Amino acid sequence: MTKEESIAEQINNELNLNLYDNSRKLELVDARSIYCYILHKELNYTLYRVRDSLRAKGKNYDHCSVLHSVRIFDEVRKRRKDINELRDKILSRTSIKAHILEKIKRVESEEVLIKINECVNNTI
């Protein structure tokens, strides 16, 4: 699962919806706003990369829509008090996981990978 899919899944689970639905309901606009904001502002994705992540899941979106979603995030934040908490929760999960996964991907030594696997198994 990609980082984008993980973030979308967390938003969908927390808000009990599907941000890829082709609807303009306020709850979906809010969900896409937090999704775009996290990817663009917090994780430094380009507008085009965010757009591509949405298009890959069937959502018809362009880079201007992403920009609009990012820009309205402050409005969403004022209207919905739960959004900041959700953002923080997603970032805490995503940042740690993403950081660890990126480091593991760079490991070339089988011995090191075995040690990582043992460490993970011992902590779970």
What value does the mean pLDDT take over residues 87-116? 79
Q: How far is CA 121 from CA 114, 115, 116, in A?
A: 11, 10, 9
User: What confidence tens digit (pLDDT) does each residue in 12-52 have?
Assistant: 999 999 999 999 999 999 999 999 999 999 888 999 999 99
Domain count, the chain: 1
Cα–Cα distance between 68 and 41 in angstroms, integer?
13
pTM assigned to the model: 0.76
The CATH number linked to 60 is 1.10.1750.10
Q: Are residues 6 and 94 in contact, defined by beta-carbon separation less than 8 angstroms?
A: yes
3-state secondary structure of 117: helix
Helix and strand numbers (H, E) in the chain are 7, 0
Range of the domain at 94: 3-123
Per-residue pLDDT at 47: 96
